[in-house]
Amino acid sequence: MPMPPIRKIAFVVNDPKPGAAALAEDLMAIARAAGVAVIATRVHPVAADFLVGQEACCVIGGDGTLLGIAAQAARAGVPIIGVNRGNLGFLTTFSADNIRESFPSLLAGAFQINHRSLLACSIDGAPVDLALNDVLIKAEVNSRIVGLEVTADGQLVTDYDCDGLIFATPTGSTAYNLSAGGPLVHPSAEVIALTPICPHTLSNRSIIFRAEVKLAVRNLSAGVTLQVTVDGQRDYHVNGNQVVTITHAVERLPLVQRRDHDHFAVVRTKLKWSGGVTERNR
């Protein structure tokens, strides 16, 4: 069943990305020709009220560009169309070629929405941010090993001596979590992945928690200030006995995909996996 047609669309454009500016002009022209109201920004970070009243947001850049608008889009319930002009592009799944061809049909409602889970991060009980990919907790000084206590629903998980901890959504499992040796998680899974970075105990491995868990992190290293980084973009500092809490957010990000979208085809392509259909049929 087609979605309702899009009548108002916002564009977030990362101009320094090769071809992004020209592609944005092409897509905005297509939208205006179809009678769609268009607004655009090339300013990053994007203004806090940019998506108010919009029915969709077209992000042209890389995954980082999309992450910069994701929390606002989730809060506003505005679907994101991600167009890749960066490198890997796990989130920006449309290429420049296929978006030009499919944009008129997308505007007419020929797409599906995949709702992606987010993490809610709080410091001493005060909400500070939403993460589409991950929340990283580490020492403010990069060279410092840090001791971190993790509890789940009030029960001790363990104390970590490590370079930091990554709390990842299924969407973020292909990002820093994967680089740190964490698991790949299907986007539809309702879980939170915890992956320690360079733990001093070799048996410390990733842990998968159910979505309803309440995770709390305390600093065990005297005199060390913690840095909490959300989606690799926004930093918060935690002093003394302040507690960082991570939970599954109420909000979800509506991500626009083609109806024939194949998650594992994207994974195989982006991670350059072998063993596809062609190899099996040889």
Distance from C-alpha of 129 to C-alpha of 131, rounded to nearest angstrom = 7
> CB neighbours (10 Å) of residue 218?
16
Distance from C-alpha of 83 to C-alpha of 63, rounded to nearest angstrom = 9
Q: How far is CA 144 from CA 40, 175, 214, 236, in A?
A: 42, 23, 27, 17
- Order across the sheet with 207-210: list the strands: 207-210, 191-197, 164-168, 134-139, 226-230, 234-238
Q: How far is CA 110 from CA 148, 188, 281, in A?
A: 47, 21, 33
Given the residues 63, 129, 134, 231, select the one marked as catalytic: 63
Give the SS3 label for residue 216: strand
Active site residue 260: no
Distance from C-alpha of 134 to C-alpha of 151, rounded to nearest angstrom = 18
The catalytic residue positions are 63
